Amino acid sequence: MPAVTTISVRTQRRSQMVEITDEVARLCDDIESGYVIVYVPHTTAGVTIQENADPDVQHDLLRKLDELVPKKESYYRHSEGNSDSHLKTAMVGNSVTVLIEAGRMLLGQWQGIYLCEFDGPRTREVMVKRVKA
């Protein structure tokens, strides 16, 4: 397997959280101990670890980000009209690191890895770097 693997994720809405935990876990099947870095090389999409048991959490997070960072502000200058998407990505971040031990990612019982789309719909790349200890 290459040092970095790219996952392609197609989003359906302008703002959306897409769980990618299973895809990342499959890429880490052969690692007994180490870590994985999940990186999103986009300026209007991010990645986070968040609850995966109740979809209302994703709804609430996206709704709060929309309230904190409105789509239109009088001082926005960026000509593409997606300044809010850039700001949300800066807040959420573009990478997460997950430890791997005993052949499994050490996520909490209710945690999942999510691509956060803020300027969709689009096809996004997620880069996964697996590191064996």
Query: Which of 75-79, 104-108, 109-113 is least confident?
Result: 75-79
What would the pLDDT profile of 30-44 be if each residue is shown by its tens digit? 999 999 999 999 999
pLDDT at 84: 97
Sequential DSSP letters for the chain: --SEEEEEEE--SSSEEEE-HHHHHHHTTT-SEEEEEEE---SSEEEEEEE-S-THHHHHHHHHHHHHS-S--TT---TTS-HHHHHHHHHH-SEEEEEEETTEE---TTEEEEEEESS-S-EEEEEEEEEE-
Q: Return the pLDDT at 3.
A: 83
Across the range 73-99, mean pLDDT stands at 96
CATH number of 4-71+78-132: 2.60.120.460
The reported pTM is 0.95
Dump pLDDT digits (tens) for 113-122. Answer: 999 999 999 9
Q: Could you report the per-residue pLDDT of 19-78, keeping only the tens digit for each?
A: 999 999 999 999 999 999 999 999 999 999 999 999 999 999 999 999 999 999 899 999
Q: Residue 2: is its pLDDT beyond 80?
A: no
